[in-house]
Chains A and B, each alone.
Chain A
């Protein structure tokens, strides 16, 4: 039996995203996460496609919001760890980021 698909589609393209001088923003990361959660075919019924696109947009908003919350929370943890180590000035710099 021949396995028809055991090779990469010629149109296959892995995507690379890069940043310079910064990391990814919560919105950029949320876009990447949303792509894993929902994929929308261009050939889908237009009504369903529009609903899916609206859902995806909502997902991105929610993910980005909670990523910002997680960043703030982690910064609080880092602030306290550095402050407890006796580096109050450095801790203040991180708190103000």
Chain B
């Protein structure tokens, strides 16, 4: 069991068609990012947040951190949205990956993120840096 790459969850794609998720910066759904160790085995079939294999440590609370939505917009024929960077401050944690989920719509998963290797902070800051919010890089793009 281990992280095996980045995935946009299939259930999320379906739920886009049923208006389950709202990425608006104001009045949108609340999205969270939970951190996991490399015993987690997420892939595109992941449907919900789980506490199994979630990291523990100073500066981290089960359920993860709240994300700040970047207002959805478009450029050319591509629509996209993103999140602001998320920092766990004064944290002593090690994580291999993360799950973004919608905490307004139950705990429905959105994206699985594989960090590529264990990332550790010791009494420091642990920051997940999201890509630039544009048509070429944003984390969620519809072309």
Contact = CB atoms under 8 A, between A and B. Distances in A.
Contacts of B111: 8
Contact of A14 (B131, B133, B141): B131
A14 B130 contact: yes
Given A5-B141, A14-B131, A16-B129, A21 B5 contact: no
A17 B78 CA distance: 29
Contacts of A12: 6, 131, 139
Taking residues whose C-beta sits less than 8 angstroms from the other chain, chain A's interface range is 20 to 34
Nearest to B137: A39
Contact of B132 (A3, A5, A14, A35): A35
28 contacts: A4-B143, A6-B13, A8-B6, A8-B8, A13-B116, A14-B98, A14-B113, A14-B115, A14-B131, A14-B139, A15-B128, A16-B115, A16-B126, A16-B127, A16-B128, A16-B129, A17-B129, A18-B120, A18-B124, A18-B127, A19-B125, A20-B123, A20-B124, A23-B90, A32-B85, A35-B129, A35-B132, A39-B137
Interface of B: 5-8, 13, 16, 78, 85, 89-90, 95, 98, 111, 113, 115-116, 119-134, 137, 139, 141-143
Lowest 4 A-B CB distances belong to which pairs? A19-B124, A5-B143, A18-B121, A20-B122
Interface of A: 3-8, 10, 12-24, 32, 35-36, 39
